[in-house]
A and B are shown apart, each in its own frame.
Chain A
Amino acid sequence: MKPGLITALALLLSSASVRGANSMSISEELDAEYAYVGGTGTRGGGVNVGSVDEHSADLKYVVSPQLNKDLLLRVGFEWQRFSFGVPDHAPLPSALQQASLVLGFDYQLADEWLMRVEVQPGVYSDFRDITFRDVDAPLVIGGVYLASPDLQWMLGLRVDARTQYPVLPAAGVRWKFSEEWTLDFMLPKPRLEYDVNDKLQLYLGAEIQAGTFAVGQNFGTPRGQPHLDNAIVDYLEVHVGSGCSWKIAPTVTIEAEAGLMPYRSFDFFAPDIVFRSHNAPYGQIACHARF
């Protein structure tokens, strides 16, 4: 948790208690995803790891009490796991995991501006031997400009002191350009969506999955790569595919998609060793609920 954020939250919450005369509303978000990526050759640092396949799962739950007309608190947790089918003694972790809290708030800054500040303090690690080095707290700050019901712009910033690129800016747009078509070009899941009807949507899109993890103190030595001991790895995975989204209830949507994973990297940036994979098929299912 960043001290600046605590101050900001404290200021906002104190003003909320003065102005919060409305009845409190609580909303909840539950997102669950599972994906499988087929085996593909992986190499880096002069080592051919061989074919690596992957199972990944993500579960995120956030509860948002509305403190006043303009301010919603966000409190929850997220668990994410990437499991890799790597041969014994390969210089790649068999799993990378995140178990974190979600703390933040949404705030209406002005008539057309909404902002979100979210920090996720937790453990980001291969979970072999957990030390303070495995603890991280990436911060995301985002703003949305509501130009019209059909057009919204997004600006964002991801701050993570532990990663190779501590500050990453992002921009996006959501443009509903006809009754059926929407260009939802928002990271990390930019999409072109087609509404078949009120319940069924087809889409073409991409997804960027990224995270920064610490590996164990003795990760490298038994694998013949002692410089990877206690290293930090920036993980990146890109999906390009198509899928469908079905609203099974007004508050619940399920999704299924398939496509290609064109790029995946394990970037041990301190010793400057990058392992890369290319072009593997993937399939993914997801469930999103808003209560």
Chain B
Amino acid sequence: MRWLAVFFTVGFCFALSVAALAADPGPVESLKGFSDFQQVDLTRLSSGDVLSERGSLMDFPNGISSQTCFFVPLSAEETTKRLQSWDPSPHGELKVFGFHALHTPCELADFQGLDLKTSQKPVRWLLDKIIASTPARSDLNLTHAEAQELAGCVQKRSDPQKVSGCMAALLLGRASAFQQKGLDGSEPYDVAGESVSPALQLRTMLREQLEIAHEFSPILKKTGLLVSETTPSLTPFYYWTLFDADYHGTITLGAIYQLAVGDHFQLVDMEYYVSGNYYTSVTLFEVWPVQVGKKSGALVWRGDFFAAPMLAFTKGTERIAYGALMLQDIKKEIHCFQDEAKARR
């Protein structure tokens, strides 16, 4: 019987070592396992190429997605750190007017930088939409209660600086609720008589991408994105930003989470409130340390999921074109991030 015991022990150890090898297949093999990229040339990526793919069609009519993959000449840890708090506003081509961190707990002073008194046309568009909002009708993503509160506030104070104050109060309410309750604290918008929940839309989009959701399950579970979880167990970087989305000023509230998973990192950047033009978006990142010849750096996979009302009516070739143009914007952003990483090494 002893030889049998030895046989099983050796066999078990062999199985464990095979399992251990299978569990750590390396960044490129991992990436092939869950992404749309089946050919990954690290040498080309390290010279600045960005791999990109439009996402496949979703059953969710308002959703669209894309995947990109790129190299950053910094350690995986440093890349992750920079991705978590990257400020795109210095890059004029990205049309970001402001990017600001929020304290925990957030306070009204965090929104002092919100200034709607400007000659920028997209910001003036946003100002006009805020002033025109009534409890019965608004082009912005608001609850009835928010629309009522905003209309009451704006009625009393119609100059841009004071309207900025009204909007800041609304954003503070949204950000505070999110900091306390996570995604479940993010109230659905009332849009043309329908309730639109950004939390539900984010979950719906991710549930359609089973392989990606499985890959990111460690961080998604801890952020409450995969399943409803009252208290997320990771502390994110909270921010608000104001930018130009197709000539329309748009304010978003977001949170960026990061988690170390073995030797690599995962990040989730979710927009839990968007003032208008679209409903919500989430960006997932996976960052691995890699060595390409003598260059060491980080291999980054990025997945973008985006929900917008007009996508439900954008079909056929128009939708393909929309996806292609979305990818162009994402690649522009990636190139800015890479340039900054090279310059500040």
A112:B328 contact, CB within 8 angstroms: yes
* Chain A neighbourhood of B318, CB < 8 A: 290
Contact A114 B247 (CB under 8 A): no
Q: How far is the CA of A66 from the CA of B320 in the complex (A)?
A: 10
In angstroms, how far is the closest chain B Cβ from the Cβ of A238? 27
Whether A250 contacts B310 by the Cβ 8 Å rule is yes
Contact A250 B313 (CB under 8 A): yes
Q: Could you say which of A18-26, A200-208, A216-224 contacts chain B? A: A18-26
Residues in chain A near residue B325, CB distance under 8 A: 146, 148-149
Report yes or no: A108 in contact with B316, Cβ–Cβ below 8 A. Answer: no
CB proximity to B under 8 Å, residues A101-159: 106, 108, 111-112, 114, 116, 144, 146, 148-149
A66 cross-chain contacts in B, Cβ below 8 A: 57, 316
Check if A272 is an interface residue, CB within 8 A of chain B: no
A291 near B315 (CB under 8 angstroms)? yes
Give, as a whole number of angstroms, the nearest-CB distance from B323 to chain A.
9
Q: Do A23 and B57 have beta carbons less than 8 Å apart?
A: yes
- Docked Cα-Cα span, A27 to B324, in Å, equals 18
Shortest C-beta distance, B251 to chain A (Å), equals 18
CB distance from A69 to the nearest CB of B (A): 5
For residue A88, CB closer than 8 A to chain B, the reply is no
Complex: how many Å from CA A268 to CA B325?
45
In the complex, what residue of chain A is closest to B327 when comparing beta carbons? A111
Q: How far apart sit A250 and B62, CA to CA, in the bound complex (Å)? A: 14
| A7 proximal to B (CB < 8 A) | no
**B210, CB-defined interface residue at 8 Å:** no
Tell me if B56 counts as interface (CB < 8 A to partner A): yes
CB-defined contacts of A149 to chain B, threshold 8 Å: 246, 325, 328-329
Which chain A residue lies CB-closest to B244? A179
Name A72's contact: one of B59, B317, B329 (CB within 8 Å).
Answer: B317
B45-86 to A contact mask, C-beta < 8 Å, 1/0: 000000010101101000000000000000000000000000
- Scoring B residues 215 to 243 as 1 if CB is less than 8 Å from chain A, else 0, what string do you get? 00000000000000000000000000000
CB neighbours of A72 from chain B (8 A) = 316-317, 320
- State whether A251 and B121 are in contact (beta carbons under 8 Å apart), knowing that A114-B321, A114-B324 are contacts in the complex: no
- Whether the pair A106, B315 counts as a contact (CB closer than 8 A) is no
- Asked if B56 and A69 make an inter-chain contact with CB atoms under 8 angstroms apart, the answer reads yes
Q: Which chain A residue shows the least CB distance to B52?
A: A111
Please measure, in the bound complex, the distance between the C-alpha atom of A114 and the C-alpha atom of B247, giving whole angstroms. Answer: 25
Alpha-carbon gap, A45 to B20, bound state (A): 89
Q: Does A64 sit at the interface, judged by CB under 8 A?
A: yes
Contacts A146-B328, A179-B121, A250-B313 given; does A23 touch B59 at CB 8 Å? yes
The 21 sampled A-B contact pairs (Cβ below 8 Å) are A22-B56, A23-B59, A25-B57, A25-B315, A25-B316, A64-B316, A72-B320, A106-B317, A108-B324, A114-B317, A114-B321, A114-B324, A146-B325, A149-B246, A149-B325, A179-B121, A179-B125, A250-B310, A250-B313, A290-B313, A290-B318
On B, residues with C-beta under 8 Å from A are 52, 54, 56-57, 59, 121-122, 125, 246-247, 310, 312-313, 315-321, 324-325, 327-329
The 9 closest A-B pairs by CB, nearest first: A27-B315, A27-B316, A179-B247, A22-B56, A250-B313, A106-B317, A22-B57, A64-B316, A149-B325
